[in-house]
Amino acid sequence: MIADLIALFTADADFLARDIAELTDADLDARPIAGQWTIRELVWHVVDSDIILGDRMRRIIAEDQPSLIGFDESRFVQRLFYQQRDLGPAVKLYEVNRLVMADILRRLQPSDFKRVGIHSEVGPLILLQLLEKSVAHPLHHRKFLVEKRRLLGKPLTEN
């Protein structure tokens, strides 16, 4: 089960690069659904969330019951210049972060996946839960990316 999760964790490490490859800046910055994130904002959210989840997993592995601080995704969008930043480094960072984290995860013993961190908002979290969230989170947001592309008249040809 853990090996399967790790495989899923890395299976689509390049999905962001593939899914935005032929989009223009105008496409990336369009709001086909009023009040929702642009594709550029969505990609940066997925990348920053992945970095945070990777940090949390590393800390649970390396430290005994570390504190895991929550973050406000809306503030990240507002304050970290998501609307202005190039996505080239973002998609590379996402892929590398996934591959490096998977290398660490593959070296662990099954008992390590029961290690605990204490999240500031939700309380105790075990490493396995964070791995599961790390697998599910980008898939959740990929649905929105696919829908935004469809609304822009640029649907993905492969899913």
Angle of helix 127-151 relative to helix 39-62, nearest 10 degrees, comes to: 170
- In this predicted model, what pLDDT tens digit does every residue of 113-129 receive, in sequence order? 999 999 999 999 999 99
Span 77-82, mean pLDDT? 96
Torsion of CA 43, 49, 51, 56, to 10 degrees: -170
Determine what percent of the chain is predicted with pLDDT higher than 90.
Answer: 96
- In this predicted model, what pLDDT tens digit does every residue of 130-150 receive, in sequence order? 999 999 999 999 999 999 999
The three-state secondary structure class of 117 is strand
Q: What is the pLDDT of residue 12?
A: 87
- Residue type at 56 in one-letter notation: R
The domain defined by 2-151 folds into: Four Helix Bundle (Hemerythrin (Met), subunit A) (1.20.120)
Q: What is the pTM of this model?
A: 0.95
Q: Name the residue ranges covered by the structural domains of the chain.
A: 2-151
